[in-house]
Amino acid sequence: METDTKTAQTKITYATMTADRMEDLHRELDTAIERVKSTFGRSYPLMIGGREVRAASEFDDRSPIDTRILLGKFQSAGGEQVRDAIAAAKAAFPAWSARPWRDRVALLKKVADAIRSHRWELSALMGYEAGKSRLECVGDVEESADLIEYYCHQIEQHDGFQVKLGALGPGEENASVLRPYGVWAVISPFNFPLALAAGPSGGALVAGNTVVFKPASVTPLLGYKLYEMMMEAGVPAGVFNFVTGGGSTAGQELIDNKDIDGIVFTGSKDVGMHLIRDNASRPFPRPLIIEMGGKNPALIMRSADLDKATDGVMRSAFGAQGQKCSACSRVYVAKPVRDEFVKLLVDKTKKIKIGNPLNRDVYLGPVINEDAVKTYERTVARARAEGGTILTGGRRLTDGELAHGYFVEPTIIDGLPTRHPLFSEELFVPITVLGDVTTLDEAIDLANGTEYGLTAGIFSEDDREIQQFFDRIQAGVTYANRRAGATTGAWPGINSFGGWKASGSTGRGTGGPYYVQQFMREQSRVRIR
């Protein structure tokens, strides 16, 4: 994927700390935030084979900023509607897969263009629905377009993945061709409601598959908007289908249905491992692209630039309210610099502005729902009961405009032993725990001591330490001395994003050079003339 210098300077990513024309960005968002209010409260259908379909019941989509805001009503799809969507995708597959790959690439690039042309509306709606800050929302939208465009570029770069092979004799022609599987289910999470829907959907489609897409039940509106972007670009009816509903109904049908040829799932380890075990009991295996979270460490060594390190940890621990699978939720600090690091980190964390994330100066918005608040409160209570110290944070906020939302303070926990469960359990809330280490070896051993292996970061001015970290850390995404995010901020074509161990199923990262091939299978072709 190519970008000119101007685009690279003005693009908002998760690593953006400052940007050119920031005032223009805020002005556009101010207008969009007001404009989208007129759309609130509508009823949205399922979209199956290009048709609007209504279910027997609906559910409310309310803003985590203020639950009195009804963003929309969505259909609670039952098994019958999901089966209809799968049938529509299956019927559309022969024609879609037969289209020349260059045509599919051109069409998916139009989807990326449509997303960019609606970036302000999509960002504003995301702020309301997911509770993310302005820059996080714009970054999510930009990443959505870039992911699709990057996968198009991969298809182009590899000439449609059609490779001429050698021959053993005259008149023999041999080739390897990657071909699509069929119908893919894309089941996306709430925390990146556009990027983690558009990316895998775009990858599946450009490879020649058709898709049944189910967004998270707390962020269905952004899912519907993705469907609109697909239709605006001209994706044919049935190629991309949109269903909403509960995981135990709509989601389970997608998992169980024999006509689903592959699944992309981003979510909990429990559900991901259930999918993997279920795959072993089927008549034949189908491809699974599963990302299951992380417990991501930052290592702060004695030579670290502590100003840079505390910025990086704070941004990764508390950006998007800690609701990133890549969030920095544990920190191992070399004892000689421990006191200075902790003081700086606490001071910076206390300055974080908490509130309505649609406001320009707010960094920390609400967590997604009441369940997340309860997880936060249980974790704080457990830490206190088991000998930990809350250095800052630890409270739910309910004053003033925060009274009707899910707001909590960014929290730093100290004083627990480094083998305590809070150093190994994924929480998905704005909490990070601190531990002391004496050596790099100890820090790496502790960092590797969990079942997860998604992201990890180190701050050190010693090149040998950094190389040792890269060589020994058990994580799919690694960073050294990254002020913009100790463990977060991967970008398509820049940092591939995939987990090891219990963090992922394939060992190939989203937004990387080996991702889109997972939506295809190899066929060897031999012709004798």
**Burial, 58: exposed, middle or buried (Cβ in 10 Å; 0-12, 13-18, 19+)?**
middle
For 508, other C-beta atoms within 10 Å of its C-beta total: 17
The two three-digit tokens of residue 310, written as one number: 């505390």
Instruction: Tell me how far apart the terminal alpha carbons of the chain are, to the nearest angstrom.
Output: 39
CA distance linking residue 383 with residue 144, whole number of Å: 37
Listed residue (312, 308, 302) closest to 439, CA to CA: 302
CA distance linking residue 338 with residue 300, whole number of Å: 9
**Burial, 281: exposed, middle or buried (Cβ in 10 Å; 0-12, 13-18, 19+)?**
exposed
CB 430 within 8 A of CB 408: yes
CA distance linking residue 352 with residue 383, whole number of Å: 22
CA distance linking residue 119 with residue 113, whole number of Å: 10
Listed residue (104, 212, 227, 211) closest to 154, CA to CA: 104
CA distance linking residue 432 with residue 434, whole number of Å: 7
SS3 165: strand
Amino acid (1-letter code) at residue 362: V
Residues known to be catalytic: 291, 325
CB 479 within 8 A of CB 487: yes
For 228, other C-beta atoms within 10 Å of its C-beta total: 14
Task: Walk across the sheet containing 431-437 and list its strands.
Answer: 389-392, 411-414, 431-437, 328-334, 296-300, 455-459, 477-480
Place of tokens 């900023």: 65
CB 354 within 8 A of CB 222: no
The two three-digit tokens of residue 59, written as one number: 């559910």
CA distance linking residue 63 with residue 126, whole number of Å: 10
SS3 47: strand
* Cα Rg of the chain (Å, integer): 23
